[in-house]
Amino acid sequence: MDRTPTIGLVAGGLGAYWPQFPDLLPTLRQSAAYVSERISGYDAEIVDVGFISDAQEGAVAAEKLRAAGCDLIVGFLTTYMTATMLMPIAQRSAAPVLLINLQPTESMDHATVDTGQWLAYCGACPLPEMANAFTRAGIEFRSVSGFLRDERAWAKIGNWIRAASVRKVLRHGRHGLMGHLYPGMYDVSTDLTMVNAQFGGHVEVLEYDDLRVRVDKVTDAEVAAKTAEASEIFEVTESVNAEDFAWGAKVAVGLDRLVTDFGLDSLAYYHRGLDGEQHERLAAGMILGASLLTARGVPAAGEFELRTSLAMLIMDVLGAGGSFTEFQALDFTRGHVEMGHDGPGHLAISAGKPLLRGLGVFHGKRGWGVSVEFDVAHGPVTLLGVGQTRDGRYKLIAAQGDVVDGPHMKIGNTTSRVDFGRDPGEWTDEWSASGVGHHWALGTGHRIADLRAVASLLDMPLTEVG
């Protein structure tokens, strides 16, 4: 899927000023051109409908932006303007609205400023009016105030544009759900109707037979090519059995076809199987291919964890990676929380070349084969989970910490030591009490600011665990 959001832009001011102060409109248009240029510099498609001066022009702009199908509309308050000029734009578009008030410089030259020059600094004046009118009309809005070259303000605007990309991907995404629930995991159970209602997109319910028929058609040459690809990406340890490696590569080719045939943007899966039969072997052979999919932007999560595959997708769209994660242990000696998971990981956030390790048994699951092992790159990280309240509403749950050095297990798991700057037991209690469930996505960088914007555009609460 094309992740590029469509950003609508409209700038405006009160037309009554133009004959009174002839130099004002050219100054405001110059500011509007700068804003358009800056927004065009983001990874976004911009639909700039120009400058409006009255309610009639606002109505024309509203129709243009409605037809454009925007993922976010930015209204630039260059000076005072009436709410009637922007209300139709917000009402007709069904897109989130961001109001920006960026005056020309940090402050006016108060000793020399005249009325016309002051009006160029008056973008804050209509902001409460817009907020009041939008609130009374039931229209959600956001705002950023600053000055034209205020990088603090532009960082916030960037958060909203990235969040618009997340919203687009979720609203139009296709999410595969293959197999069945891991027996007994109440927290993983997901209502597909609520996924569509709150995130948007489509959940494609798949059978393992959809994968089986594609794996059956994989040729020896394709297996050899995938094995060679994996050998370049991974350090293949001596524990890897050649037959298991070839099987994982064959399943990986089948997974590639499954994702292409169904147009999937994410995948969650689980199958138990019995006595080494084919479906059990398919499920056990998923880790290599699922990791390769996740690394190229199609997150794949085991244990039927649809909500976590969505969290992984959000983090990937934000450029943070996003690896399938749960608690492993607490290290009270070093003050760290150890977390990771067996199964697929996001290879792009590995501290070094990831390993393929052969396992004779997958703990808690049937089957055997190759597994992925790595340490997440050291530095700032963000956790993101999707929780659900008793009334069925989803919420985002996030925390920031730092991956640090320390000893690691060598059991075919992705593993990270995360320092949250506090007692690991107290942090773990607070994180668990948030309603997160026992899986989440771990991505690189501190992303809370982006996630606040994402939560707003998705109309979901965000719980931040300190």
Residue 310 pLDDT > 80, yes or no?
yes
Cβ-in-10-Å burial (0-12, 13-18, 19+) of 59 comes to middle
Task: Please give the single-letter amino acid code of residue 361.
Answer: V
266-270 β-sheet, strand order: 202-206, 174-179, 266-270, 300-301
Mean pLDDT of the chain: 93
**Quick one: average pLDDT of 176-191?**
91
Return the pLDDT at 59: 97
Cα–Cα–Cα angle for 176, 180, 186, rounded to 5 degrees: 105
Return the pLDDT at 197: 95
Range in 65-69, 123-127, 284-288, 440-444 with the lowest mean pLDDT = 284-288
The set of residues, in sequence order, having a beta carbon less than 8 Å from that of 67 and lying 6+ positions away, is: none
Q: At what angle do helices 286-295 and 242-262 cross, to 10 degrees?
A: 50
Among 152-156, 187-191, 356-360, top mean pLDDT goes to 152-156
* Cβ–Cβ < 8 Å for 40, 34: no
User: Please, what's the b/e burial string for 32-49 (b: 16 or more CB within 10 A of its CB; e: otherwise)?
Assistant: beebbebbeebebebbbb
Return the pLDDT at 415: 81
Specify the 3-state DSSP secondary structure of 95: coil
**Alpha-carbon torsion, ordered 15, 20, 21, 25, to 10 deg:** 20
Share of the chain above pLDDT 70, in %: 97
pLDDT in tens, 231-269: 999 988 888 889 889 999 999 999 999 999 999 999 999
Q: Where are the alpha helices (DSSP H) in 94-237?
A: 115-119, 127-136, 151-172, 192-199, 208-216, 220-233
Distance CA 254, CA 260 (A): 10
Residue 181: DSSP 8-state: P
Return the pLDDT at 369: 67
Give pTM, 2 decimals. Answer: 0.94
Residue 360 pLDDT > 60, yes or no?
no
Cα–Cα–Cα angle for 426, 428, 430, rounded to 5 degrees: 70
**CATH entry 3.40.50.10940 includes domain 6-171:** yes
**Quick one: average pLDDT of 154-172?**
97
Residues carrying CATH 3.20.14, the chain: 173-464
Distance CA 299, CA 293 (A): 6
CATH architecture of 173-464: Alpha-Beta Barrel (3.20)
**Quick one: average pLDDT of 427-449?**
96
* Cβ–Cβ < 8 Å for 349, 321: yes
Return the pLDDT at 289: 94
pLDDT band for position 368 (cuts 50, 70, 90)? low
pLDDT band for position 412 (cuts 50, 70, 90)? low
Q: Looking at per-residue confidence, does 137 or 343 come out higher?
A: 137
pLDDT in tens, 104-126: 999 999 999 999 999 999 999 99
Return the pLDDT at 58: 97
Residues carrying CATH 3.40.50.10940, the chain: 6-171
Q: Looking at per-residue confidence, does 366 or 334 come out higher?
A: 334
CA distances from 261 to 105, 206, 209, 258, 438 (A): 53, 12, 14, 5, 31
